[in-house]
Structure 1
Amino acid sequence: RSAEAFFTEVLDQTGDGFVEWPDLAAMARELATRLDLEEPAETRLYSAFADWWRELQAELDTDGDGRVSRDEYARAVPSLAGPALIRVAEVLFDVTDTDGNGVIDEAEYRALFRTGFHRTPEGTAHEGYTRGAFVRDFLAFMTGRRRSTPYDPLLADA
């Protein structure tokens, strides 16, 4: 999908043609609700999204109006996976991995994505979602580089 389509379908939660803090806060709220987070996990997630917002503003808001337009976003797509977005992915992994074993198991996956693991062709269940794989997939999705069956509905309607 194009950067413009990703911007409209996922990032611009309010539908006003810009990304601002309320758009990212809506994403954080959706994730916190899905995972039924309590303090301090909820605060960690919101803080990570707030840091990402500040990074987006600093890097992409070229006209200084305090928000990111679709055009500003599309021009910057190649450089979007900055430290703050990586931190969002890491925090999301941590709060999803409720047993702290370093792998998102099937129940944790279902809580986040509201769907089960995909089955392999042999019919065996996926063993888990490692931190590295999760962060890589989240970054690829959030920078608009790749569609993702579980991620598409996760934030598109937050």
Structure 2
Amino acid sequence: MIRGLYEAHLPVSNLQESIKFYQKLGLELASEQEKLAFFWIVKGESWLGLWESETVNLPYHPSIRHLAFKVEKSEIEKVKEWLESVNIEIRSSFGFSPEMQPLVFKNNPHHAAVYFYDPDGNSLELITPLDMELPDNEKMMTLVDWKKKHMK
């Protein structure tokens, strides 16, 4: 019955500043109201709601204030360069510095990801699945190290 995620929502302190940020990520503004904006993630399939609020500074936890946007496997190695080209700073995550990303998770399927924040500190991720067939008993590693090990 469930076919995917249609919408997700994040709190923001300045809607206009956040609109500019998410447009830099290439998202299309679908609708804007006084303190609410919706962006298409995939037009007609999924969108992101941004809600301007005075109570944005909630403590971070991955269960809130985190979104992962899927990118194509062929694009994951270009993500850092692209983010830097639009002046978005990559952040350290899981003990991996920005220079070490994309990082690869050990769970199945193996995923490669790059992490950054929006202007309000909401955690954002660009992620792609890599391989469904590999065991999940490895430690996290850089994509460069993962490719050396699995792409022979």
TM-score above 0.5? no
Q: By percentage of residues, which structure has more strand?
A: 2
* Structure with higher helix content: 1
TM norm structure 1: 0.31
- Structure with bigger gyration radius: 2
